[in-house]
Structure 1
Amino acid sequence: METFFLDYQDELVGTGICLLVFLILKYLGAKAIRKVGKISDINKVRTRLIIKYSTVGLTSFGIVALILIWGVEMKDIGLVFSSAFAVIGVALFAQWSILSNITAGVILFFSFPFRIGDKIKIMDKEIELPEEVYYIEDIRAFHVHLRKANGELLTYPNNMMLQKAIVLAETYEDSLENSDAL
């Protein structure tokens, strides 16, 4: 056991540094995302979802760094990654709409001009009443829950929220002011 530590001393130190950097970046990234969520008054559930996405990305970079630290042969890495990417590529091609909705969910988190509680109009010819006003009930990872005036729930994909023209009919704050005036 002692010879293992002596033989791989540099790799063990590199692994320790890599793990320390990972933990620091994870902490700072989560703190920054929470701050953006708080400043933008974004739902805590959505904030936690974005933190999970960033952790997965950071973990992927950490794994690559550990592979490089331990000196795995590039031909071995190439064989593993080419096999994995072939399988993942086929699976992801079949699931492209899920990936586009997740990506749109991340984009909506950081740059969505509407909040839960706002009333919007979606300029989409495919919806029965394109001029109807919808109340944003919830924004999730894959879709947005929109409530019609008659109480009917419409589940609208996140990627469509980025592709279609959306008009802000009434903000949540405006609706509070109007209800106070009554």
Structure 2
Amino acid sequence: MATRLTCGLMVTAVLCCMCACSYTWTASLDGDGTRRTVQLDTVENRLFPHRPGLEYELTDRLKEEIALDRRLILGEGGGDVRLKVSLTTFSEPNLVEDFETGQPAEILLRATATVEASGEAFTGGTVRRKVSVSTSYTPLLGDSKREGLDRLWRDLAREILDIAADKEWAAN
């Protein structure tokens, strides 16, 4: 029993010392660990009927997600990848109505964006990729519509950033 306790304390002490010396453990699935620079303009609003303001919410969320993403860096001028994002559909149909008030009790939030990513495949030449991404989210009972929209924009932004971080399309 004393041997196990001593061994456990030694392992804990070694791990604490390693953390105190700023040792970190990281992993990379893509191998080289280089970050791509992304040029991003404001999302274009192509919704009909027009819903002003949603494009700014998605643009802000894209910038927040790029800041958190280890694969990408937001650049101002040129970059490895230039993203042109257009918000093409947004809907929030009622799934369940409150019988007493007639107000929506549960909604489904859906959004689709068209993403055009372009990058330099070789000196002087560019390659383009145009993809449509969609996502949907149903807020939990008790969640506000705002929380649901935040989750929707986060999921859509992550789908868009996966396109920007994909190195295979630029190599073809």
Task: Please give the range of the TM-score, normalised by the shorter of the 2 chains.
Answer: under 0.3
Q: TM (normalized to structure 1)?
A: 0.22
Provide the TM-score with structure 2 as the length reference.
0.23
Of Structure 1 and Structure 2, the greater helix share is in 1
